[in-house]
Structure 1
């Protein structure tokens, strides 16, 4: 499984690499307030390095000071590096190499992760920040089956989203049915569940990465728990997001 995940992570990274390598002006603002294309790639590089540290020296990872502005600050610092593209290429290669050899749980900013979950999270972040870059450049990306990984982590973090927002984790199971780019239906949860989420997989990926407003998405929620979850859906670690 990890081999397939890493192959998809590499493919997602290469697609974004091709987009930014030809972008020219990395100071172009993206839809994330205050973030340029350089910030987006700088953040991916910084997070890659954090993941490597978590795998190689978990005590040092946990000891690092994490102030409230760490995400914005590190992205800004990396954005001005003249060799940022090569640094990001190196960092993502290092992540993949370490994940290929990793075993057991990996400490992280949220709950500890298995190597497979970490690979999925790196793909999710690459896809999400890649969307910011694509939007900045006015490029419409063609969705691939790789968004299934983004959807998967979105489903797996339903309880996490409730906790982040100070809410009790519901014990009600939710059935999620999404239509992939090729028309295949991807499902999670018990088939007979009354609580349901349905819609296009791409729209669900936008929702859980907070890259689009729900009003723009063809996501249908049935049941109280499903309805309460959709506005707080969040597939990434960190405090509750307010959009990009």
Structure 2
């Protein structure tokens, strides 16, 4: 299976797992608030459905995406995402769920048929199919975490986290830039303990009985180590650093990065407040 095909398969599994969390809920439960201020369960699913539709437009009619969707975003860069979620969330829950299901399946088919080597237009730089699928998986997982937290459900981490971890590492310089900081010139070493039972990936090394997802030069002075789930929660800003005890930084630059890490596009996120005793550190 190609890299893009593997990511698309993981995206399908991630979407189905989230679907199972909301599919059996009565309509009134879709109004349950989530940790994202002002967003209910309906907003979370609506956001995913809305973004899938934009990605589908980019894959099926690139010219229209550039001619219509991009100018709309530029006209309201700080609000267009929230406005899209708000509008889609007004649909009845059953209709919203069906829209999300149909849209993500249409997107999967469109990305499967996209010419190999070509890139899709997007709101930022053009993206390969593998990158687009990885980004959709990251968002699905992150917003799924909001849903799980709202429903007080604990999800079992899977090997699909490797896609999110990779994005978290690759967006290091972006995190610095959105905070108006100069990114460090040297690479960091990042070593993350994968979930139990994760298959070996091309970036994995054996370590401590669990797979180790490793990035960057082994002799790097700036290092980050810890649990892959905790790193993904940090990079998607679904948990506060003080609540992620396994994450460790060696070096001032690495320490700074763990305070600003952001895997998603847009301005600096507000993150989540700490639930640790004694508050944020």
Please give the range of the TM-score, normalised by the shorter of the 2 chains: over 0.9
Q: TM-score, normalised by structure 2?
A: 0.84
**Paired residue secondary structure (1:221):** strand
Instruction: Select the residue among 90, 95, 109 that pairs with 2:102.
Output: 90
1:110–1:238: 8 Å Cα contact kept in structure 2?
Answer: no
Q: TM-score, normalised by structure 1?
A: 0.96
**Paired residue secondary structure (1:72):** helix
Indicate the residue corresponding to 1:196 in structure 2. 223
**Paired residue secondary structure (2:32):** coil
1:210 aligns with 2:237: yes
The structural deviation recorded for 1:168 is 2.1
Q: Which moved more, 1:128-137 or 1:70-79?
A: 70-79
State the distance in 2 between where 1:26 and 1:170 align: 43
Q: Which moved more, 1:222-231 or 1:9-18?
A: 222-231
1:232 aligns with 2:246: no
1:223 aligns with 2:227: no
1:50 aligns with 2:54: yes
Instruction: Select the residue among 98, 111, 119 that pairs with 2:133.
Output: 119
Indicate the residue corresponding to 1:176 in structure 2. 190
State the distance in 2 between where 1:193 and 1:74 align: 42
The structural deviation recorded for 1:96 is 1.0
Q: Count the aligned residue pairs.
A: 244
Indicate the residue corresponding to 2:276 in structure 1. none
Instruction: Select the residue among 20, 23, 38 that pairs with 1:21.
Output: 23
Is the radius of gyration larger for structure 1 or structure 2?
A: 2
Deviations 1:78-136 (A, max 9, x none): 11212000000011111111211224222222332211111100000000000000000
Indicate the residue corresponding to 1:143 in structure 2. 157
Structure 2: 5+ residue runs without aligned partners?
197-209, 273-281
State the distance in 1 between where 2:100 and 2:11 align: 14
1:157–1:235: 8 Å Cα contact kept in structure 2?
Answer: yes
State the distance in 2 between where 1:204 and 1:33 align: 22
Indicate the residue corresponding to 2:270 in structure 1. 242
Q: Which moved more, 1:40-49 or 1:92-101?
A: 92-101
Indicate the residue corresponding to 2:79 in structure 1. 69
State the distance in 2 between where 1:11 and 1:48 align: 15
Indicate the residue corresponding to 1:40 in structure 2. 44
Deviations 1:128-187 (A, max 9, x none): 000000000010111111111110111111111122222223211001000011121110
The structural deviation recorded for 1:193 is 0.9
The structural deviation recorded for 1:55 is 2.1
Q: How does 1:142-161 map to 2 (within 5 A)?
A: 142-161=156-175
1:172–1:225: 8 Å Cα contact kept in structure 2?
Answer: no
1:79 aligns with 2:89: yes
The structural deviation recorded for 1:23 is 2.5
Extract structure 1 runs of 4+ deviating beyond 4 A.
none
